[in-house]
Each structure stands twice: as structure tokens, then as C-alpha cells.
Structure 1
Amino acid sequence: MPHNLLPARMRSLTFRVVAFLSLALLPIGLIAVKQTDEVTKETQRRTELTLLAVTEQAATVEQAVIQQAFGAARTLGAFIQLFNQDAEACQRHLQSFLDASDRFSFVGFLPKDGVMTCSSHGRTVDFSDFPGFADSVANPAPMVNVNQDAPLSGTSVIIISLPHYDDAGNFDGYISVSVPHYRLDIDSEEAPNDLVGLITFNDEGEVITATSDMGDVADLLPRGTELKYLFSGGRQAFSGKSVDEENRVFAVTPIVEDTVYALGIWSARAPSATGFDRALHPSVFPILMWIACLIVAMFAIHRLVLRHVTRLRRRMRAFARTRSFRPQPETGRVPLELAEMGQDFDQMAEAILRDEAELENSLHEKNVLLKEVHHRVKNNLQLISSIMNMEMRKNPDPATKKVLRRLQDRVRGLATIHRTLYQADSLSQVDAGVLINDIVDQIRVKGQVAGTKVKVDRTVDSVVLLPDQAVPLALLASEAVTNLLKHLGAPEGSPPEVIVELTESDDGEVTLRIENTLGQKTVIDDAAESTGLGAQLMNAFARQLGGRITTAEEDECYRLKLTFVKTPFDEEPVDFPADAQGDAEGQKAVTVASEPRNTETPGPARPSHA
């Protein structure tokens, strides 16, 4: 993308420093991300192992009781096989076993037909219609269940069931051992302080034990996850919200293989859970490092460069607007390079002010000289006009007087132009409207001298032109007015009327329109017969302007219209063609531009107007 098409902020020194520094820190950032990621994973792994070990240690009582019950069931299996056919002997043996143990509340053998006849309870109970019995017989496996209102034990118990097989290896029933919950020696005070709760559950998701009240267990479980699915991923630790909307860390580990599992529920802010799921994202460290480097770099750049450059920029802008400045004293806080730049600016500003002062003096002198030239030319032309006036009074020949009067009008027109030029504020721009108004005023003056009342209707805009266009326009208008006065007529019942318009369009086209009425001849200008010089001069001036003249004669009206385009520059003058001159004097006085594109130089509509 080209440099000038970039947004201003992207071209600033601040943005570029940030961009290059970010690019320089990118490899370091990638290494930091990788290392931080490895450290985070290792920390999480160690935290997970710690949580699993602490959870398994916290469930040692439940684990020992259940394993003890399975061991008792295996021991009773040998006696069951001996006394299975003698129900009374089996019951006596089981009762004596129960009396010898203070851990269990019931032991018995449940055959696969569901009718229990051998138990410590001493009576026959039919379990064949109990929910899930048929499935357990069809798929024999060690089981641990809970019955909060056991009919035989009369209390809430943990039921450990171990499949029993005969000598042929055929399944023939379950040996059941019941452990009352109240006989579990679970001391919550010995548990870690940051352990919110400990739950054991079987592979069906049934809660077996809990350190809290069984009714409050549901609020501590992970939200949106059933217990029976927690161990599908093996030993694991994870974080999440509990049902009571608290942030927790959960650890799941087996305490009896494929049968009973322990779920440790830890506070997310607990020391044991520190580093688990709370470690910063690997990208945070390099981002913080990047921000810190940028802050240090930007502070250094601002202190060493930006503030001094900003101060120098303000001085430059103030100098550009007001052309005034105060040299900045050199201090030790400014870097040497910037201090030298400030000194160079001071020297440059002094040189510019000195050169501009010399140019202004030179320009002022030039303007004064040019105005003095225009003033003296105007005075000389007025002197020539006075001399011609003296000659007209002395010369008795009327034809000679008329020729001299026409020449005198042209001289006065040139004097008017030079007067306007030296009175103008700017020599490079001339208000053509002022020149046209001065020329039109001659109509009133001559009408009053001749005793003829002439109605003049003028619409003259302020059209600012270069002198190269203003001068030929004024000379053309002067010739047109002279021609107008020579042929001005009064319609029947109306005074003679003259219409003069000078306008400029939005696209820079300038239009001069001069109209006069025809009719009864008025004696304002009794010039000699037409020689055609006036028409030749007007056409020459029109070519010099790069415009065109059109004439039209309608009912009692004669119209002359000039259009040209205002140019903001001076065109190089060339010698006017000799065949367009009336005499040698005109050839010296008139210069024209290169041939305009749409110049129209028709002959006058009425030859008498020339």
C-alpha cells in the first residue's frame, strides 16, 4: 500500500515503535507461551495427583469397612457350602459369627431362587420379587448397595453382596453382609479443612456414604453430571460448579475396584486445589511481558523523543501561521540530535524571515515603481490629450478636428486604464467593472455636452482580471462606446438608450454586451466618415482576449456581444499580424495572444458603424 494511503495513526512514530517492538518480542513470546504451557500442565498434573491421593486417604475408613465386609463374605462362603443343606446349623453358625463381630448387623446366604433360609436373622425371607433381583442373578458380580430402612437390620445399612459358586463352579447365590452406617468410624474433624465433602458411590451412581447429611448430598454434586458417569474417564480431577452454584474442584478415585468409588469435593480456593484450573492461560505471561516492555519503551520514547519533537512541531506550526518564533534555550535534558535539530530550525527560521523581509521590501519597491510608471504614463497621456485639444482649437479644418477628437478619445481611454492600474491595491489583478463604469460614464458626459439626454442602463459585475486581459477589454469597450455614440439614435417618442452589461458565469466565462437604439440620429459624436480602423481594433482586442465578437441588428436596436474565458495566467504575447492593422501606430500599440480557438471576426453588420 502506498505510504500516503495509510491512516494517519499507522504513520505515527508511536504505532511504528509498537509494531516493531511487538515483532521483536514475538519469538520470545512464543517461547514463553510454550514454557508456561508446560509448567501449567505439570502443575495441574501434580495438583490432580495430590487431590486424588488426599481423597483416597480421606476415604480409608469406608474402604477398610467395605473390604472387611467382602473378606467376611469370602470366609462365610466355605461354611455356607458345608451347612447349606442344614438351615438350622447354618443359622446358628452365622449368628455366632455375627455375635463375634461388632461391625456387622446381618449376614446371610441368598440363593438364586430368592428364598433366604440361612441367615443370622433366623427366619425365612423371600427376595425373589425385589426390584433388580432377577438382573443380579442373571449377571452375578460383587455389589455394594444401600438400604436406608433395612427390614432385617432395622436401620440404614450398607449391603455387601458377594457371588457364591458351588464346587462345579456354578453360581448358586449371594452371601450378603450388612454394615450399619452408625458403626462407620468416620471422624469429620480428621478430614482436611478444605474438604467440603466426601461421598462414596457404587457403579450405579447410588450414594453409599457421605460425610454430610444424606439429604444434603445432592447440593454438593457436580451440576449436570450423574454420579454413574463420573468414573467413565477413570481416575480424574476436574473443576466446575456444584448444584448449589459454588465453584468446586472434584476428585474421583476407586476404593474398591470396579465397585465403589470415592468423590472428594474441594473448595476452589482451598490450598490443596491451588494450581488446578486456576493457572493463568499460557498467553497471559507473554502478553504481560509485552505490555510491560511497551510501557517502558513508550515512556522512554516520550521522555527522550516525542515530547521534544512535539514541542518542535508546535514551534514550526506557530512559525508557519504567524511567522514569529522565539529561539529555544538549549538544556541538558534534550538529546544531542534533537537539540541540533532545534538549532537548525532556529537558523532556518531566521534565514526565512530575513529573506522574506528582503522580498517584501523588493516587492514593495517594485509596486511603487510600477504605480509611479502608470501614474506618469497617465499624466503623459493627459498631456498629449491637452496638446491635441489645443491643436483642435487652432486648426480650422473640421475633418482634421474630427480625426483629432477620435484620437483624443483613444488616448483618454488609455489614460483611464493607467489611472485604474496605479490606483488599484494589487497590480496583478484589475477590477474590469471599474474600467467599464468609467468608460460608460463618458456617454453621460458627452450627452450632457451635446444637450442630448441619453438613458443608460448598466449591469456591471465586479470581474477581477489579469492586466493582460483587463487592458484589451477596456480598449475594446472604449472603441465600442465610441462607435455607439457615433451611431446612437432615438426611437420615435423615446430618448436614445444604451445598455451595457458585464457578467461572469460560474465556469469563468466573461460576457460584455453593449446595445444602443437606432432611429433619429442624435448629434453626440460628429466623427469623420468610417475608415474601418475601429472594427479592426475591436477584432484584434477580441483575439488578444481569446474570445469572439458577435453583432446583430434588430428592430431599432444594434447589439455587440463579446465572450471570453478568464485565464488565471499571463499568456506570452506575440506580434500582432500586420494585415489586421490600420496603420503603423496600431501595429506598435497592439499585441495579441496566439490564435484563439473560437475567434469570430465578422465584418460589422452596418458598415456605417465602423
Structure 2
Amino acid sequence: MSAAAGRGSAAGSGSALGLRLAAMILVALLPLGLLALAQARQSQRQADETAMAASIGRTLQEALGEVRLIRASQITAQLLASVLRDDMAHCRTHLASYAAADPRIARAAFVPLSGRMECSSDGSAQDFTGLAHFARMRDARAPQIFSDPGWSSSGAVEISVVSPVATATGEPMGFVLISLPETAMTGGEMSARGGAERPLALIASNRAGEVVYASVGIAAAADYLPATRDLARINSAPPQSFADTTPDGMRRMFASVPLTHDLHLLGVWPLPRDGGFLGRNALAYLLPALMWLTGVGVTFLGVERLVTRHVRRLAKAMRAFGSDSRSMPELDLDNPPAEIASLAEAYRTMTATILRDEAELENLLRQKAGLLREVHHRTGNSLQLIASFLRMHRRETEEENIRAVLDDLHNRVMSLSTVHLGLYRMAGGADVEVDQLMAEVIGRVDQIYGRSGHKDAITADLHPLVLGSAQAVPLALLLAEILSCFPSGGEAGPPILIRLGPVPGAGNTARLEVSGPAAARARLTGEYATGEHAGAPAVIGARLIRGFVNQLSATMAVEDQGPRITVMITFTISHNRDDPDPAPAPQKADAIA
């Protein structure tokens, strides 16, 4: 693993040590913190329940004046009903007398079953038959209360208090109607009361859920009603207090109190100490939070003092050593714990051992490279000596067939010698710059076959390409063998074109192309070397070419282009270069066989 990979692995292995220990402290304190939060929440809930329970009594206390006025009006209506039942002849006198006794009464009237009012305290007449509530008021057998501008003499908002009138035998005669102006209930000021100890609104309604009075005005009462409950359902329940939201989304506390069978009071209050979950009792929630923060702070300080700063310096030294420069900064730890001091000493010993081992490995590699170069050098010299022997035998032989065989052997031995000497000059490493090796092979083969004296006999386009020795050696020998198949310099013909490089858009695939006179086809493929010529150099060359192609795991294609022929060798660049010194000679022998 490289140093960069090691750093990436360490960086992604997890959070810092201080954060991990702080998280452990938080987990350890979690039960105590949850208990403190639960106690604070329970205390807050009890305080809220107490405030809600007290809101019922406070609602009655705040609406005491309005309740007294409504109750007095209901009693007045009942008294008038009793008086009119016995003395209907003096109806207007009785109504005017009662209305004059209480200036808050706008009008007192008797409405018969026909709905046409003719007896009133102010002498006015009105027909109620087409108005809402009339049918219900006519059939009612108990006092009623509602608010409807249509029942008002002036068109202003009034509260209508109704009490039925019946004969001594119980036959209904009509009902007494007392109208109270809304301003009489609010004292002329219709606004939200609010304040820490005052309700936001007081709303009175009948059993059907109709608002008959509101301290903020009947028109604005809807803005203060609970959004999820209707008044009819609230009025059918016993006295209660609850929290709900108003239509504008504000969270409020509501207190419902029944006054009579047809009159209910609803108080709208701000939530106690409204300010959110924490703002309502910040101190109770602040204590466990401070406890957690203290634990985290102590953990961070302790870990930084005892562990983190030493580990940070040690990690910095490791990163510096793990870089390519192999630098070793001074590792100075200020009074570290015994365990970290032991770790630092182990690191110093390890780095010293690594440097010593790397120095020994570098020496071994240099020795191996030197030995490998010497092997290539001696192999090349030995092959040249063998070529000289073959040349001597060739001069002593007069038979042309034997001379042709010896010439072919001599040329192949010289090609192999050129490859080894080229590897020797390239320091004999596992990676070979094939373009340079190919240039040497081309020059040597060109000289062997007498092309060097001819201008533009061979044109080479060699792109930089690095291969392992296991591929570079057979590729160089393959090129030498292919070049040997083309006519020598003494034969007229077009120049030989050589191209080597990666295949565009094919990843790690490379290609060797050799193009020359078409006369080389027989020697390249061995198609016409049969019968008595089976052992001719053409057959051997074709077999060697196939053997080198197989050794490269490559594909070979031969294209005829009129007077020219092109050989294309396509192979995959191997990244496995663990065998830097292949033995091409046995594979060459196998190919010949």
C-alpha cells in the first residue's frame, strides 16, 4: 500500500479520538440527563395543569360583571312574563316601567305567537315572522338567549333575552323580549384585554354554539375560537380547560364554564409563560445541558492533554516518514504517558529498521541489475561469437543450400545478440523502453541485410512505449524476423514502413505494423514453402513468427495492398511484470519444433 493510500485509509477510518470519547461520556450521562429532563417536564406539566384548572375560576371572576347583567336581564324577562300573564291589558305600562328602571335595556317587548310585535317599552312595532330564530323562540318553553341584528330596533348589535309567556293552564301566549346593546356589556370598549393576568377574550354563547357576547366584539369573536373544536361540542361538556390553536395559528389556553342551561362562558388565555419548550422553564432544561457540556469539555481537555497532542505529533512524524522523501523529523513528546512513550520508542525502532532494510534492498537491486546487465552482455557477446563461427563455416562451404541455411542462422543469431546487447545498454531493468530497443533492432537488421547503404530503405514511426521484458524481448525478435522476410538492400522495391504505438481508444492495446514489398508474403506466411522446400528458411521464419505471436498472446493480420503487403501485430500490454528476465531461446525452439 502506498503512503497516499495509507493516509486516505487513516483519514476515512473514523472520527477523532476526542470526539469518540466525548460521545462515550455523553452516552454515559444520557440516563441522568433524560431523568432530569423528565422531571423538568413533569414539573412543567403539573404547573400547566394547575394553571388550566385555575383558569376556570379566573374566567368566572373576569366575566362577573357581564354574567350579572345577563342574569339580571333573564330574571327581568321572567318577571315580565309572569306579570303579563296576569295583566296583558297594561302590557306597555309594565314594559316601560321595567325598561326605565334599568337604563342598560334598549327595549323590552312582548311578541305574540303571530310574530307581530305591537307592545314595547318604546312604543315601536315590528314583525318577526320572517326572521331567523323566530320559530325556535315561539316554540321554546324555557328562557333563551341569542344575538341577531335583525331583531334590533336600531340595527346595532344587541343581545336578545327571551322568556316564554303562557296562560295559567299552560297555553303559550308568546314571549318577552329584552334587548341589551353590546356596548352595555363591554362598557363601550371592545378590544382584547390580554396581559399576563387578564384573558385575551371572554366569549358567551348559547347551547347551540351561537355567540351572544364577546369582550372583543361579536364580529371579532371568531378569531379567538379554538380551531379544532366547535362551541356546540364544548358547551355540551362539563367545565373544562384545554389548549388549542386559534385560526391565526396561535397556541392558546381555553376555559369553558356553563352558566345556565342555555348560556356558557369561554375564556381565552395566553399559555402560561409562553415561549416554547425551553423558554417556559429554561433553568430546568439548562442544568442537564450544562452537565453534558461539562462532561464533554473535561473529556476534550483530558484527551488533548494526555493523548491527542502526542498522537498528533506521532502521526505527523509517520506521515513525514511515509512520504517519498523518507524524512525523519525530531519526535519530541512533552511528558507523554508510558503507553504512548513506548509507542514512540517502537516507532523510532521501526523506522530505523525500515531504513536499514530499504538500504539493503536497494543494494540487492543494484547488484541484481548489474548481474542482469552482465548476463545480457555476455549473452550478446556469446551470440556474436556463435555468429562468427557460423560465418566461418559459411565461407568454408561451397554448397549454396548449406550457405543459405548458415546465412539464415547467422542473421537470426545476430538479431538475438542485438536484443540482448540493447537490454544491456538499457540497464537491464524489468521495464524496457521498447521504442529505443526497436530502433537498435531496426538499425542492426538493416545492416545485416544490406539496407543501410540505401537511402530511405526503412522508415520507422516509433511512439514511446514501455513494456516488461517478458513482452519486449519476443516483440523485438518478432520485428527482426519480420524484417528478415522482406527483400534485402540489393533488391529494388519500395521502402519498408514500421509503425509502433498504442491503439487509439482501445485502452491498453498496442499494435506493430510493418509494410513493405509484397514479395515477402511467402516468407511471412510459409504458404508456398512446401514439398522439397519444407525445411527452407521461409518455413522456419514463418514458424518463428507464429511462435513469437503466440508468446505475446497477440493476433496477426496480413493485408495485401497491391504491390505492398502489411503485417499487423495487435497485443495487450501486460501489467504483470514480476518476471523481468524471460528466457526467449526455449520458446523460440518450441516455435521451430
Q: Same fold (TM over 0.5)?
A: yes
* Inter-partner Cα distance in structure 2 for 1:226 and 1:385: 115
| 8 Å CA contact 1:220, 1:265 repeated in 2 | no
- Asked if 1:274 is matched to 2:272, the reply is yes
* Inter-partner Cα distance in structure 2 for 1:159 and 1:537: 128
C-alpha offsets along residues 129-151 of structure 1, whole Å, 9 cap, x if unaligned? 58444431222321235699999
| 8 Å CA contact 1:94, 1:108 repeated in 2 | yes
- Asked if 1:591 is matched to 2:586, the reply is yes
Q: Which residue of 2 aligns with 1:583?
A: none
* Inter-partner Cα distance in structure 2 for 1:347 and 1:52: 82
* Inter-partner Cα distance in structure 1 for 2:566 and 2:160: 129
* Inter-partner Cα distance in structure 2 for 1:396 and 1:153: 150
- Choose from 321, 324, 328 the match for 2:323: 321
- Asked if 1:439 is matched to 2:447, the reply is no
Measure how far apart 1:420 and its partner are. 1.6
* Inter-partner Cα distance in structure 1 for 2:155 and 2:537: 143
* Alignment gaps of 5+ in structure 1: 1-6, 520-529, 577-589, 603-610
- Asked if 1:546 is matched to 2:546, the reply is no
Q: Which residue of 2 aligns with 1:135?
A: 136
* Inter-partner Cα distance in structure 1 for 2:223 and 2:393: 130
| 8 Å CA contact 2:140, 2:164 repeated in 1 | no
Q: Which residue of 2 aligns with 1:370?
A: 372
Q: Which residue of 2 aligns with 1:429?
A: 431
- Asked if 1:249 is matched to 2:246, the reply is no
Task: Give the secondary structure class of the aligned counterpart of 1:546.
Answer: helix
Kindly report which structure 2 residues correspond to 1:73-472, keeping only aligned pairs within 5 A, or say none: 74=78, 83-84=86-87, 87-88=89-90, 112=113, 121=121, 129=129, 131=131, 132-144=133-145, 160-175=161-176, 193-194=195-196, 195=198, 196-203=200-207, 211=215, 214=217, 217=220, 221-222=224-225, 231=235, 235-241=240-246, 247=250, 249=252, 251-254=254-257, 256-266=259-269, 268=270, 273-274=271-272, 278-279=276-277, 300=299, 303-304=303-304, 315-322=317-324, 323-332=326-335, 340-375=342-377, 412-413=414-415, 415-430=417-432, 431=434, 432-443=437-448, 448=453, 453=454, 456-459=457-460, 461=462, 464-467=466-469, 470-471=472-473
Measure how far apart 1:57 and its partner are. 0.7
| 8 Å CA contact 2:211, 2:218 repeated in 1 | no
Q: What's the TM-score, normalizing by structure 1?
A: 0.63
1:434 maps to amino acid: A
C-alpha offsets along residues 47-70 of structure 1, whole Å, 9 cap, x if unaligned? 332333211111112222333344
* Alignment gaps of 5+ in structure 2: 1-8, 521-532
* Inter-partner Cα distance in structure 1 for 2:153 and 2:263: 23
Measure how far apart 1:437 and its partner are. 1.9
| 8 Å CA contact 1:457, 1:497 repeated in 2 | no
* Inter-partner Cα distance in structure 2 for 1:552 and 1:66: 117
* Inter-partner Cα distance in structure 2 for 1:410 and 1:103: 135
Measure how far apart 1:441 and its partner are. 3.5
Measure how far apart 1:541 and its partner are. 7.7
Q: Which residue of 2 aligns with 1:606?
A: none
Count of residue pairs brought into register by the alignment: 542
Q: Which residue of 2 aligns with 1:61?
A: 65
What is the root-mean-square deviation of aligned Cα atoms in Å?
6.2
* Inter-partner Cα distance in structure 2 for 1:232 and 1:564: 93
| 8 Å CA contact 1:253, 1:262 repeated in 2 | yes
Identical aligned residues as a percent: 25
| 8 Å CA contact 1:25, 1:290 repeated in 2 | no
* Inter-partner Cα distance in structure 2 for 1:513 and 1:500: 6
C-alpha offsets along residues 27-50 of structure 1, whole Å, 9 cap, x if unaligned? 889888877776665444333323
Q: Which residue of 2 aligns with 1:586?
A: none
Measure how far apart 1:360 and its partner are. 0.6
Task: Give the secondary structure class of the aligned counterpart of 1:591.
Answer: helix
C-alpha offsets along residues 433-487 of structure 1, whole Å, 9 cap, x if unaligned? 0332232341576775xxxx576123363565544555566566667767767x7
* Inter-partner Cα distance in structure 2 for 1:344 and 1:164: 109
1:280–1:163: structure 2 CA closer, same or farther, 3 Å change rule?
Answer: farther
Measure how far apart 1:361 and its partner are. 1.4
| 8 Å CA contact 1:469, 1:545 repeated in 2 | no
Task: Give the secondary structure class of the aligned counterpart of 1:347.
Answer: helix
1:45–1:437: structure 2 CA closer, same or farther, 3 Å change rule?
Answer: same
C-alpha offsets along residues 264-298 of structure 1, whole Å, 9 cap, x if unaligned? 344x4xxxx3157954699x999997999599659
* Inter-partner Cα distance in structure 1 for 2:164 and 2:497: 130
C-alpha offsets along residues 51-105 of structure 1, whole Å, 9 cap, x if unaligned? 3321111111222233334445555666555x437x35x8778887788888878
